[in-house]
Amino acid sequence: MMKLTQQIQTAIKEKKVIIGYRKSLRALKTGSPKLVVVAQGIPEGMEKALLHNAKISGVEVKKFKGSSRELGVVCGKPFPISTLVIE
């Protein structure tokens, strides 16, 4: 978990992160992100859609070992983050 946390924080400092479910899906369909990070406990339908699109795009998906609130804290945001994409 520590390595993923550091990877997310580094990407945020470099402004290479897309935050949010809809924007993440769009990035998977149009761009070529390096990594998709999904928080635990997001709705099953959302997770399936992300996994499906990531598989088509050939992008790795990592499960964040924490809630969307905890992912928001790691990103330095005052709100929950269910999904993010690292470009």
The domain limits of the chain are: 2-7+16-86
Please, how many CA atoms are within 13 Å of residue 77, restricted to the half-sphere of its CB? 19
Prediction pTM value: 0.91
> So what's the pLDDT on residue 18?
95
Name the average pLDDT for the chain.
93
Which CATH homologous superfamily contains domain 2-7+16-86?
A: Ribosomal protein L30/S12 (3.30.1330.30)
Strand 60-64, strand 35-39: pairing:
parallel
pLDDT digits 0-9 by tens, 6-23: 999 999 999 999 999 999
Closest CA to 29 of 17, 21, 40: 21
> So what's the pLDDT on residue 1?
53
pLDDT digits 0-9 by tens, 22-34: 999 999 999 889 9
pLDDT at 72 over 90: yes
